[in-house]
Amino acid sequence: MFKILFVCLGNICRSPMGEFILKDMIRRAGRNEDFFIASAGTSSEEQGNGVYPPAKRELAKHGIDCTGKRAVRFCASDYEKYDYILCMEQRNAEGVLRIAGGDPKGKVFRLLDFSARPRDIADPWYTGDFAAAYKDIEEGCLGFLNYLSESEK
């Protein structure tokens, strides 16, 4: 069982997109039983709020439903609970390290560190470009699954 947590700042745009894009890939691969996938934010600003409507619409364009997701804040105990903590940008990784008190087990990554071109994922809350965020997150999820399948060999 792989336990995966996506992390962004607010947990209303990028990390829920990551959560539901990866869940969709895993479901289509018939591997639901092997994965536990969730998302959280380093800020408490949006706690309890649903996915931001433009992010929800972008997921829906790709046939992905995120009904029921409510923003939660990353907490220190999440560090032990998950195997991979996939952050949308360096700032989020720094927030995770601050809350968790470090990364002694090497679980914290940027999602696009698993792509051919490691980089941050720009925050669509500010850029307004939810299609670009979707493409970047999809690229990162594919790269991450590729990494996992190599590590399973």
Catalytic residues, which ones? Answer: 8, 14, 123
Of 14 and 107, nearer to ligand 4NP (C-beta) is 14
* Shortest distance in whole angstroms from residue 121 CB to ligand 4NP: 8
Handedness of CA 73, 79, 84, 86 (dihedral sign): positive
Q: Crossing angle, helix 14-28 and helix 130-152, to 10 degrees?
A: 50
x-marked contacts with ligand 4NP along 24-63 as a string, rule CB under 6 A: -----------------x---xx-----------------
* Least distance from ligand 4NP to the Cβ atom of residue 125, Å: 4
Among 5, 13, 25, 66, binds ligand 4NP (CB under 6 A): 13
- Are the CB atoms for 45 and 10 separated by under 8 Å? yes
Instruction: Figure out which of the listed residues 4, 5, 6, 14 binds ligand 4NP, where binding follows CB under 6 A.
Output: 14
By residue count, the chain amounts to: 153
CB of 24 to ligand 4NP, least distance (A): 18
- Strand, helix or coil at 113? helix
What residues pair up with 39 in beta bridges, in sequence order? 6
Tokens 């409510």, residue located: 70
Q: Angle formed by the axes of helices 53-61 and 130-152, to 10°? A: 60
Residue 111 binds ligand 4NP (CB under 6 A): no
Instruction: Select the residue interacting with ligand 4NP from 84, 125, 130, 134 (CB under 6 A).
Output: 125
Q: How far out from the chain centre does Cα 52 lie?
A: 15
Residues 70-89 that bind ligand 4NP (CB under 6 A): none
Hey, what amino acid is at 106? G
Which residues contact ligand 4NP (rule: CB under 6 A)? 8-14, 41, 45-46, 123, 125
